[in-house]
Structure 1
């Protein structure tokens, strides 16, 4: 299996778990839980595919939706939603960092494949990275998470721009992709635990 595809599957699983937990907090029924998990895990990819005018990957391949369904049933079976503040645990934050960085890289790759310039690549990477979370938060009447936590959206933009530069100089090989993934995850984890954020506008 392609390493990026494998990492993307891990990202889908962690994002689905995030959506599931948000849905549980909001008291959703099973349909609501599925929609919350589905949008969180796959919503960014849907936005990406609409932006580049290609067939929606999640609707032409079985694995992404199957991963979401499996995560739902595993989460229910092991009752992970009863774990105290699971979404604040290291393993959950780490998994979430994996999915946003991986999705951002994949978005940048696809945008370049469709001939987008640096602005298009940055925005497709951003929407692929955080778009699912935006859709989930709108659905569950929350302020989008990327607006209030550790440079979430900023890092997604940065990953997209960095990948575009790597592409320009011919360094978009698996070594540099994995390096970018590692640096992105590290930056996201540091931003979360150290409380880094862009300064608000003040008079």
Structure 2
């Protein structure tokens, strides 16, 4: 993997982890969980998708095992998150949750697809691994918070945005577009597509 792409994926992974951790904090606050519950939800949300990706690609050690500082950072944030989130309004929390979820979806989906390609996986398999990496953290978060996973109950495109964005990344890569820009463009597409579905209330047919 090209060094610039490796650096870009490393930065994306960190941003995705903290974006999903924030969404975990907000859901935990909604459920009025204590610091321990908040940490567990945030940890599972932040690393769930990446762990599934690592299992499918047989990558060891798992990303969160190899990068202990991220785990420690989420642990420390969990101690203060309940107190800080009490000072925010419900509307603000919902907006932050939407953006954080969209950011995590885009970043994890494209980084997962890129890693699958680097592992010589076929195109369709790479896309599905990317989509799983993008959505699985949110699925675990919702299950732990006793919610029907968002991917199942919301008819607005969620996994669909990730699926299309991952194919866009593959297309750009196929035409030898600069690898870093390919990652950034595809990630931005997923993020903006997900936010646009809320803005314009776009829904998939039942």
Deviations 1:15-35 (A, max 9, x none): 111112212222323222111
Q: Which residue of 2 aligns with 1:52?
A: 57
**Cα shift readout 1:163-200 (whole Å, capped 9, x = no counterpart):** 22223332252122222222222111111221112111
1:26-65 Cα deviation digits (max 9, x unpaired): 2323222111101111100001101111111111222331
Structure 2 CA distance for aligned equivalents of residues 121 and 81 of structure 1: 40
Shift of 1:74: 4.5
Structure 1 gap segments, 5+ residues each: none
Asked whether the 8 Å contact 1:11–1:98 carries over to 2, the reply is yes
Structure 2 residue corresponding to 1:169, chosen from 175, 184, 188: 175
CA distance in 1, matches of 2:112, 2:192: 19
Gaps of 5+ in 2: 1-5
The one of 126, 130, 151 aligned to 1:125: 130
1:11 Cα offset (Å): 2.0
1:78-123: CA deviation from partner (whole Å, max 9, x where unpaired): x12441223322x543333221101101100111111111221121
Q: CA deviation at 1:10?
A: 2.1
Q: CA deviation at 1:68?
A: 1.9
What's 2:69 paired with?
63
> Which residue of 30, 36, 60 maps to 2:35?
30
Q: Cα gap change, 1:172/1:151 in structure 2, threshold over 3 Å: closer, same or farther? A: farther
Report which stretch shifted further, 170-179 or 105-114: 170-179
Contact residue 15 and residue 99 of structure 1 kept, 8 A: yes
Instruction: Quote the Cα distance in structure 1 between the aligned partners of 2:131 and 2:73.
Output: 22
Q: 1:6-155 residue pairs with structure 2 within 5 A?
A: 6-55=11-60, 56-76=62-82, 79-85=84-90, 86-89=92-95, 91-147=96-152, 148=154, 150-155=156-161
Give the length in aligned residue pairs. 198
Displacement over 3 Å in runs of 4+: none
Q: TM-score, normalised by structure 2?
A: 0.86
RMSD between superposed Cα atoms in Å:
2.0
